[in-house]
Amino acid sequence: LPPALMWSLLASRRVPTVPVKNLTGSSPVNPALAGITGILMSAAGLPVCLTRPPKLVLHPPPVSKSEIQSIPGISHTCRKTTKKQAKKGKTPEEVLKKYLQKVRHPPDEDCTICMERLSAPSGYKGPQPAIKPDLVGKLVKCGHVFHLHCLVAMYNNGNKDGSLQCPTCKTIYGVKTGTQPPGKMEYHIIPHALPGHSDCKTIRIIYNIPPGVQGPEHPNPGKSFTARGFPRHCYLPDSEKGRKVLKLLLVAWDRRLIFAVGTSSTTGESDTVIWNEIHHKTEFGSNLTGHGYPDINYLDNVLAELAAQGITEESLAQEKD
């Protein structure tokens, strides 16, 4: 094609952009590489526009102590956990009895715990509970059926806190608690708005968990665990729904469900404090990593994650009782 026609065709397309880091910094490496890329693209007849990448904004502007406010309707501004909640003084069989109905004629299907037929004895091969391996029970709320032998074994291998979670549909029976190490949760209002929530101030949550030694409820009892990245700052809009989420997060904190000791999915480090399936927003003024704002679905998503842990508005009434 003639050069004039080629240039016309290229100009009609969107001009490609080359991100450049550290344009105002001291390092010449990244701008130089971008410049070389631009030269090569220009040599090929492609128009180039150099751009500066978006900036990660993790924290709000500085806030003085006099600007920090307590949250109306929520007492105190700090909550601590010290040790594992007291275990229920009941045997596994007594706990399960509250949630089960005996089944005299088992359905023709597999037990999803041991994968043996319900009409046959349990195939669980671990430490044997003091219950007959051929008894079958149905969970009263969700209706799923299992060997009683398997359910007792599953309960013994868990947190043994008086609650049970159906392995098929995750319905929770009783009050589920976790294995979060001791720490402190602070919460207050700061006078800055989050992106997408310009009509209100911001709730700031600060979690702080120190390193320590794993207890009997953790993966490696007696072994030390690390606690990276603390204190961790998280943010919610100071709206009606944001305050509702905070109240439920306080219940999750009291039940030791926000953090756990395990293996980090980002670093691969084992025996360290990790998030426990309740997502938080740790970026204040950007959403480059997916952990910030704006995010119109976040509050609804975190409410669903809390509900999956058995924490709903009914939980707030239970805590008051």
The pLDDT tens digits for 129-141 are 778 889 999 999 9
> Residue 249 has what pLDDT?
97
Q: What is the mean pLDDT of the chain?
A: 86
> Residue 129 has what pLDDT?
72
The pLDDT tens digits for 17-31 are 545 444 444 444 455
- pLDDT of 16 over the 60 cut: no
- pLDDT of 14 over the 80 cut: no
- pLDDT of 186 over the 90 cut: yes
> Residue 27 has what pLDDT?
45
Percent of the chain with pLDDT over 70: 80
- pLDDT of 320 over the 90 cut: no
Does 6 or 228 have the greater pLDDT score? Answer: 228
Domains of the chain: 65-87+177-318 (3.30.390.130), 92-173 (3.30.40.10)
Burial of 153: CB neighbours in 10 Å, binned 0-12, 13-18, 19+: buried
- pLDDT of 297 over the 90 cut: yes
* pLDDT band, residue 122 (cuts 50/70/90): very high
> Residue 90 has what pLDDT?
79
The pLDDT tens digits for 255-268 are 999 999 999 999 99
SS3 string, the chain, reads CCHHHHHHHHHCCCCCEEECCCCCCCCCHHHHHHHHHHHHHHHCCCCCEEECCCCCCCCCCCCCHHHCECCCCCCCCEEEECCCCCCCCCCHHHHHHCCEEECCCCCCCECCCCCCECCCCCCCCCCCCCCCCCCEEEECCCCCEEEHHHHHHHHHCCCCCCCEECCCCCCEECCCCCCCCCEEEEEEEECCCECCECCCCEEEEEEECCCEECCCCCCCCCCEEECCCCCEEEEEECCHHHHHHHHHHHHHHHCCCCEEEECCCCCCCCCEEEECCCCCCCCCCCCCCCCCCCCCCHHHHHHHHHHHCCCCHHHHHHHHC
The pLDDT tens digits for 64-118 are 999 999 999 898 899 998 655 545 567 888 899 999 998 999 999 999 999 999 9
* pLDDT band, residue 5 (cuts 50/70/90): low
The pLDDT tens digits for 269-285 are 999 999 999 999 999 99
pTM over 0.95: no
The pLDDT tens digits for 235-256 are 999 999 999 999 999 999 999 9
> Residue 81 has what pLDDT?
83
> Residue 21 has what pLDDT?
45
* pLDDT band, residue 127 (cuts 50/70/90): confident
